[in-house]
Amino acid sequence: MPATAQQLAGKEGERAVCRQITCPSCGRKRLTALPVNFDCADVICRFCGFMAQVKAITSVTGAWPSTLPGGSWPRQQEQIIAGITHALFVVSFDPKDRRLVAIDYVPSDILKAVPDAFVPRKPTKPAGRSTPFVGFRYDSRRIPAIGIVRLYPITSVVTSTE
């Protein structure tokens, strides 16, 4: 079955994170994509085991929409209850030419502090014998701006000479 446009965008987001970003935990350039349908994470550091979700969006400025699609709510909820919350990378591509615009990072501690940022969706209608799928969305309005770090493009830091 061919991949959907959304799945292709997600894979491109994972590739961008793995190419551009060093591991936020150990600082090494060892991030790699996890297998498709790995529960609640998309990339892992091959050195220290750090894991994160990656969400790809289209945006000329890198601004986020009010919600971002998540994955399976039962799996995510199970991890939240167990005290496991992975970090989040939001990768922005220009909608016209698919140029990489920005990569933002939300540490897992920030997401743990705002559990209401995870919003369950209504179950899908079952097709044939399949069971309904229950997904979730990240409510980006609930993630505090101070908890979002722009990692790409790298901006120069102005320091005082005093």
Is residue 157 over pLDDT 60? Answer: no
Q: Element (H or E) spanning 88, and its range? A: strand 87-93
Burial class (CB in 10 A: 0-12, 13-18, 19+), 65: middle
CATH code reported for the domain at 5-152: 3.40.210.30
The whole-model pTM stands at 0.90
pLDDT in tens, 65-107: 999 999 999 999 999 999 999 999 999 999 999 999 999 999 9
Instruction: Report the pLDDT averaged over residues 20-28.
Output: 97
**What gap in Å lies between CA 135 and CA 133, rounded to an integer?**
6
**What gap in Å lies between CA 52 and CA 31, rounded to an integer?**
10
**What gap in Å lies between CA 35 and CA 96, rounded to an integer?**
29
For residue 103, list its beta bridge partners: 91, 152
- Residue 95: CB partners within 8 Å, gap ≥ 6? 58, 59, 60
